Amino acid sequence: MDIWDKLYQAASPLYKPAELNKFIYANNVVCALEAKSGKIYTGYCVEGLCGTINLCAERVALLNMLQGGEMEVKRMISFRETPPEGLDGLPCGCCRETLMEFSEKNKDTEIMVNYNKRETITVGELLPNWWGYMK
């Protein structure tokens, strides 16, 4: 079993799309990341109708990692019901920004884009001209 299998298996049980009440939906996107230490952290999305609680699965996993005292990410996988098979596994712009703000070293974070082919892309490839480099 490689690290991508471990990450996929860590996040899979969290996929349980649910309407928590008439305002909040959760668990329809899940994420697992491997921190620099090798520890795996997970997260799932939470969405509120008015936008006050909207958190992507990636940012929830990052916050869980931060609680563990870490800020550097080696690898990340995000998905809905099945592993990513193309661009559907890419984090949104807000999550990419959060990765970079946690640590500029996260430019080297590998993000799974095709699980079956083991194709990845780095955050640095997604944000080659990140504004933080200019500071």
- Residue 87 domain boundaries: 3-134
Question: For residue 14, what pLDDT is reported?
Answer: 98
Task: Strands of the chain (E only): list them.
Answer: 18-19, 24-35, 40-48, 73-79, 110-114, 119-122
According to DSSP, residue 62 is labeled H
Number of H helices, E strands in the chain: 4, 6
Instruction: Please report, for the domain that includes residue 110, its CATH number.
Output: 3.40.140.10
pLDDT band (50, 70, 90) for residue 89: confident
Strands 119-122 and 24-35: unpaired
Q: What is the pLDDT of residues 37-75, one digit of tens each?
A: 999 999 999 999 998 899 999 999 999 999 999 999 999
> pTM of the full predicted structure?
0.94
Q: What is the mean pLDDT of residues 20-31?
A: 96
Q: How many CB atoms lie within 10 A of CB 60?
A: 22
Place of tokens 């990513």: 84
Q: State whether the Cα torsion 133-78-63-25 is positive or negative.
A: positive
The total number of structural domains in the chain stands at: 1
